[in-house]
Amino acid sequence: MVVDPDLQSVQEARQLVVKAAEAQKLLAQFSQEQIDAVVAAVAEAGRQHAEPLARLAVEETTYGMVADKVRKNTFAAEDVYRAIKGLKTVGIIREDRAKGVFEVAEPMGVVAAMIPCTNPTSTAIFKALISLKGCNTIVMSPHPAAVRCIQESARILSEAAVKAGAPEGSISCLSLPTMEATQELMRHRLTAVILATGSAGLVRAAYSSGKPAYGVGPGNVPAYIHSSANVRKAVADILAGKSFDNGTVCASEQTMVVDQAIADRVRAEAERQGGLFLAPQQAEAVARVLVLPNFRINPKLVGHSAQSIAQAAGISVPAHTRVLVAPIDGIGKQHPLSAEKLSPVLAFYVVNDCQGGMDACRRLLEFGGLGHTLAVHATDEHVIREFALRMPASRILINTPTTHGSVGDSANLEPSLSLGCGTWGGNITTDNISVMHLLNIKRVAYEVRPVNPGEAEETAVRTASAAPVMSASVPAAPGAAGAAVPDQAEIARVVDRFLARRGTAAPAPASKVCPAMSGDSSVGQPPVCPCVSSTAKTAARPAAENPPPAPRPVDFVSEDDVRQAINKNEKIYVTPRAIITPSARDLGNPREIFVMVK
């Protein structure tokens, strides 16, 4: 009997989702310590198999270089793991006593993960780690060009997870990747959320599935070199980013935008560092073999070396050539090399000044890279801030390769291999995707501004003898985990107000007579208590030293500020109006870095 492969693949997708849902019910009962042990084991398995998985990926897809894919696998297994291992993702994960709010994490459920062919094994490791850390299970849908290496990654990671105590089915992968199977995986009633990394069509399908989805857009990354830049470093950074894994990273530089005043210096430096500038006819030949008539990149040349691409275009280049550089004088379909190239081919565009640079970078982003990433190489802070304010990019990297900076390797961004592009790129977030995006967060909030003050005070009187759970004015008891001590003075004031409303006077405090009283009332001398006298004298004396100044709140907090506070074991004091970047909040809240002051 002949079995329809499409139907067979759909059935496999259904079975894997059902098994993953059953496993997730068990995983949801894990403690923080149990889930952390599983995640640690999976990370270690990814680290130990970084090289063989890299070799398998290059062998199967022909994309990229083994050494760089080893680095990407290691980044996922080590850097991403290091960023998430200390996060609280089970139970109560944050408490804000000042606001009277605490947060409880719940897993989303089954994660449907699309894995691309350009970064197959590293993406598999990354998505498995962030899914499991949130007590979610994951079913991977591999790109058809990278089935074996993604399946092998899933097998290795799954075995490590099960050995560490995770249920079977926590990590799985389709063996028959078809569009029908991928659609079934995304739309299945037991699928909770989608992590879509791939083509624009795949991302659109994810958003059209009816399920919550984190899709990431394509990158057409411009790198602007201002006249104030360190030219040698700027060129080195751009060539390093563009040549890494033969340009397969979506955040790698695509076009070098250079001020006219330094264009000759930049060109000479690029040639010195292994960039080969193409003549107009050569650039046209490269464009013909690299960009297909439907304006897609030729899959036979994705991630291939500069020499291979030149050879396909009938051009002979030196063996030391790292990147082919094509000068262009326009942006758009009439200039195919102004688009994303997924290879070590870089466009070169000259502008008059900073304003021209911003105009060119905006047009390049609009031509297939909206919301993704932009690089600015400059020492003029005014120029940097102008780009930051005006460019439609979620990540603006300063004086660093975009390939490395965007994922949190050379810059202090959240380590991630899935980069949101915001509404510019049709995505729901501008963040670097992390485990916090795969959690449902419940917020428990206590009343702090009574709607009915009388009833609120009566409730306070009735419950005064019980230990309050949280209060903005009640400090935590020493040694108690989250418990609090009643403020007796506050309780007395509440009782007094309550009795006054009922027309009942509060009992006067009983007077106490100190046996050491002195003075003779018969001759008009009031009794004097030596205790009070001594206290008054003590209070009258000036303090030996001034009290420490109150901490000064800040108005803006970046991720770098949080990292510095963590390293110094300090708190960051903020007001309710303070601006805290999402990455700073994700990093600081689990560690209780922020202290709210009025």
List residues with catalytic annotation.
Answer: 250
- How many whole angstroms separate alpha carbon 40 and alpha carbon 329? 51
Phi, psi of 579 (to 5 degrees): -95, 120
Q: Which residues contact 100 (CB under 8 A, 6 or more apart)?
A: 445, 446, 447, 448, 470, 471, 472
Asked whether 396 and 224 are in contact (CB, 8 A), the reply is: no
Which amino acid, 331?
I
Enter the tokens of residue 389. 């304010």
Asked whether 143 and 151 are in contact (CB, 8 A), the reply is: no
Give the DSSP H or E segment for 38.
Answer: helix 32-48
Can you spell out the DSSP letters for 373-392?
A: EEEEE-S-HHHHHHHHHH--
Asked whether 44 and 89 are in contact (CB, 8 A), the reply is: no
CB atoms near residue 350 (< 10 Å): 20
Enter the tokens of residue 315. 């051009």
The Cβ-side half-sphere exposure at 484, using a 13 Å CA radius, reads 19
Q: Which residues contact 500 (CB under 8 A, 6 or more apart)?
A: 506
Task: Give the three-state DSSP class for 62.
Answer: coil
Enter the tokens of residue 454. 């009388």
What distance lies between CA 449 and its chain's CA centroid?
34
Closest to 153 in 3D by CA, of 262, 35, 38, 73:
73
Which amino acid, 187?
R
Closest to 186 in 3D by CA, of 254, 291, 110:
110
Beta bridge partners of 107: 439
Q: What is the DSSP letter of 336?
A: G
Question: b vs e for 177-207, b when ≥16 Cβ sit within 10 Å of the residue's Cβ?
Answer: bbebbbbbbbbbebbbbbbbbbeeebbebbb
CB atoms near residue 518 (< 10 Å): 11
Asked whether 146 and 64 are in contact (CB, 8 A), the reply is: no
- Could you give the maximum distance between any two Cα atoms of the chain, in Å? 122
Beta bridge partners of 191: 110
Beta bridge partners of 390: none
